Amino acid sequence: MMRYQDLSYWLSSVDEPLTPRPGLPGDTDADVAIVGAGYTGLWTAYYLALADPSLRIVVLEKEVAGYGASGRNGGWCSALLPTSLPALARRHGRDRALDMQRAMHETVREVGRVVTAEGIECDWRASGTVVLARSEVQLGRARAAVAEAREYGLADEDLVLLDAAEAAARCHAEGVRGGTYTPHCAAVHPAKLVRGLAEAVERRGARIFERTPVTAVRSGVAVTPAGVVRAPFVVRATEGFTPGLPGQRRTVAPVYSLMVATEPLPEATWAEIGLAERETFSDYRHVIIYGQRTADGRLAFGGRGAPYHFGSRIRPDYDREPRVFAALRRVLGELFPVLGREVPVSHTWGGPLGVARDWTASVGLDARSGLAWAGGYVGDGVGTSNLAGRTLADLIRGEASDLTALPWVNHRSPRWEPEPLRWLAVNAGLRIMFSADEAELRTGRPSRRAAAFSRLLGH
């Protein structure tokens, strides 16, 4: 049997053996069937059970709760959206775009509220995010980000520009010239959060069946080798694993993000690095990096850059790319020279996240078929999944609310191109962003190719 503890540092450090729950015993009737016991599925079950304890809710999971991105991510519960405010405003208008961003701000607070109310011990620390500018080009992007925020009515309380001293006071990386800070993010131990959420869902009467793969989702049924779950509503909450379901091969592209974690670092080292409040951190390069100071004193650090695999294939050996791990280790050493030439890494891991063709997360319900979905978070799912779960709970219960009026509700992203176009497009995009970062370091000028690619994505 698979050792789930080996999937990530986070899963290796939960205070439980990760023993699978019993599987589905046979054909079952329910009011709501949910496919996937990650954040999206569990938040949906949680808010449904909270709103109506009489509902019969069944959650089906191929492995164990938190097996996917929910147990392997960077531990940022943020208000980030994969689609920019200008892109949302072009589609839906300025006011509705701002409604979406404000809903995400509130979502960070809501997750913190539930963590406290349910007694989930997940190293929650709502200390915000610092995004560093380490070149003049990056500093220009930081200024532009703040100017854009002001244009949409967001104030210093939402995003503020930092000078070099202010940025370094939060995160003392090498060559910091400034940056931005937002309070709308919390550092969290993601596996403890998802495992605690699963327990909270069960306490409220929902049933979770693990080691129960779903082989097909149709109106009124979720099909498994062990039996069929019949329900008026069936929720697809499978994110990066969605292409494995029949008919869903081109719904999202599973793109891999990889991480490393250091050994626990001494306080003298942390005094030179900063992150005293456990702020999450990144910088303004094109190829995304992200990190946090864990509650036990490690640096958990990740980034994009692993290749997309032909045919949206997902395999365990894709979780580990030595070339990418080496690059992450090198970048950590460049950011924090105090770590030395051989950054003391103890854990390496990765996994797929879901990318919609238009880079837009969505949540929805087809009233005729009873089929519901949420996903396409592009790696920003820790917070966004909570908003999705609350929204799905309202949609399923037929409740019109501020949440069901948000612009991502019932958005339909285009399908990805068939292969080999999909493989060519995704990997070409990665190469463009890598080369843009290299060119900006070399020339000190913004990359036109990266800007053009961002416009192509609708950013």
Q: Quote the pLDDT of residue 306.
A: 87
Q: Quote the pLDDT of residue 287.
A: 87
Digit-coded pLDDT (tens) for 405-429: 999 999 999 999 999 999 998 888 8
Tokens of 56: 């019969």
Digit-coded pLDDT (tens) for 192-241: 999 999 999 999 999 999 999 999 999 999 999 999 999 999 999 999 99
CA distances to 26, 102, 274, 300, 344 from 268, rounded to whole Å, are 57, 39, 10, 18, 15
Q: Quote the pLDDT of residue 439.
A: 78
Q: Quote the pLDDT of residue 304.
A: 82
Digit-coded pLDDT (tens) for 327-342: 999 999 999 999 998 8
Q: Quote the pLDDT of residue 434.
A: 75
Q: Binning pLDDT at 50, 70 and 90, where does residue 284 land?
A: very high
Q: Binning pLDDT at 50, 70 and 90, where does residue 1 land?
A: low
Residue-wise over 268-296: b if at least 16 C-beta within 10 A, else e? ebbeebbbeebbbbbbbbbbbbbbbbbbe
Q: Quote the pLDDT of residue 438.
A: 79
Q: Binning pLDDT at 50, 70 and 90, where does residue 456 land?
A: very low
Q: Quote the pLDDT of residue 440.
A: 81
Q: Please name every residue paired with 362 in a beta bridge, in sequence order, or none if there are none.
A: 375
If you average pLDDT over every residue of the chain, what do you get? 95
Digit-coded pLDDT (tens) for 245-277: 999 999 999 999 999 999 999 999 999 999 999
The residue among 393, 441, 20 whose CA lies nearest residue 204 is 393
Residue 163: is its pLDDT beyond 80? yes
pTM for this predicted structure = 0.96
Digit-coded pLDDT (tens) for 339-376: 998 899 999 999 999 999 999 999 999 999 999 999 99
Q: Quote the pLDDT of residue 454.
A: 56
The sign one gets for the Cα dihedral 24, 26, 30, 32 is positive
Q: Quote the pLDDT of residue 170.
A: 98
CATH of domain 4-74+190-252+358-405: 3.50.50.60
Q: Which of 310-319, 381-390, 441-450 has the highest mean pLDDT?
A: 381-390
What number of other Cβ atoms are within 10 A of residue 42's Cβ? 33
Domain boundaries, the chain: 4-74+190-252+358-405, 417-458
Vertex 104 angle, CA 102 and 105, to 5°: 65
Tokens of 453: 């690619």
Which residues lie closer than 8 Å to 101 by C-beta, 6 or more apart?
79, 81, 85, 152, 154
Q: Give the mean pLDDT of 131-151.
A: 96
Q: Quote the pLDDT of residue 285.
A: 93
Residue 459: is its pLDDT beyond 60? no
Q: Binning pLDDT at 50, 70 and 90, where does residue 384 land?
A: very high
Digit-coded pLDDT (tens) for 77-126: 999 999 999 999 999 999 999 999 999 999 999 999 999 999 999 999 99
Q: Quote the pLDDT of residue 11.
A: 98
